[in-house]
Amino acid sequence: MTLRNPESIHPWTLPNRKSSYRNSEEERADRQTAVEAQLPVWRALLPGLMEKFSRIADPDVRGAFGTN
């Protein structure tokens, strides 16, 4: 089957195809490996992010809205 207007297909449209994994266990193992690789990065970044977020003023100051 050939397309009449192949240029009309948007390049950002994802192809409709099945997963490349043979079974769900293979996919689960691959996802687990990816998460394990990301974990050290998040552990390194998180303390710095928490310190930066702690500098943001808390808008819920007691008495600011007429409540005690």
Q: How far is the C-alpha of 36 from the C-alpha of 1, rounded, in Å?
A: 43
Q: What is the pLDDT of residue 66?
A: 58
Q: What is the pLDDT of residue 1?
A: 53
Q: Is the pLDDT of residue 6 over 70?
A: no
Q: What is the pLDDT of residue 2?
A: 60
- Non-local (6+) Cβ contacts of 19 within 8 A are 27
Q: What pTM does this model have? A: 0.50
Q: What is the pLDDT of residue 64?
A: 60
Q: What is the pLDDT of residues 28-61, one digit of tens each?
A: 999 999 999 999 999 999 999 999 999 988 777 6
Q: How far is the C-alpha of 4 from the C-alpha of 15, rounded, in Å?
A: 17
